[in-house]
Amino acid sequence: MEKIIVWYLRMSIIYFAAGAVIGFIMILSPNESGYYVTAHAHLNLLGFMSMMIYGVGYHILPKFSGRHIYSPKIMHIQFWFANAGLVGLAAGWPLRAMGNASNFTESLLIVSALLSFVSVLLFAFNLLKTIKAVTL
């Protein structure tokens, strides 16, 4: 397995643990849970689930088509975009929810959302260019 794919899987598991810790804290502190719910949801869905799908998808899907990844370079760039974007969102959302709607928080959220969004497009483009029906 390629090193970068191992990192996709590692980060997925790290986000799962982070999402679970935050979920547990939310149960213990129901009054503050609203600050963290969006970060919790995205650490689990965009972090754990999506990152796992990126890693497994990059590893398995080209093999099903008997091909190599269209662009290993995009796969590397996407890794950094997805991680920087998610960490920024997971930090920015609670800050905003706690009433810290500074220019810094808003800019962090916009840049992070853009990075996350572009990373989704990069994955879609790279996989669509990779997969191909196998004719029997």
CA distance 107 to 87: 14
Other C-beta atoms closer than 10 Å to the C-beta of 101 total: 12
Closer of 66 and 98 to ligand HEM (Cβ) = 98
Q: Does 113 sit near ligand HEM (CB under 6 A)?
A: yes
Backbone dihedral angles phi then psi of residue 58, each to the nearest 5 degrees: -65, -30
Are the beta carbons of 45 and 100 closer than 8 angstroms?
no
- Please list every residue from 52 through 111 that binds ligand HEM, using CB under 6 A: none
Number of residues that bind ligand HEM (CB under 6 A): 21
CA distance 26 to 20: 10
- Please list every residue from 17 through 46 that binds ligand HEM, using CB under 6 A: 19-20, 23-24, 26-27, 33, 37-38, 40-42, 44-46
Binding site for ligand HEM (CB under 6 A): 19-20, 23-24, 26-27, 33, 37-38, 40-42, 44-46, 49-50, 113, 116-117, 120
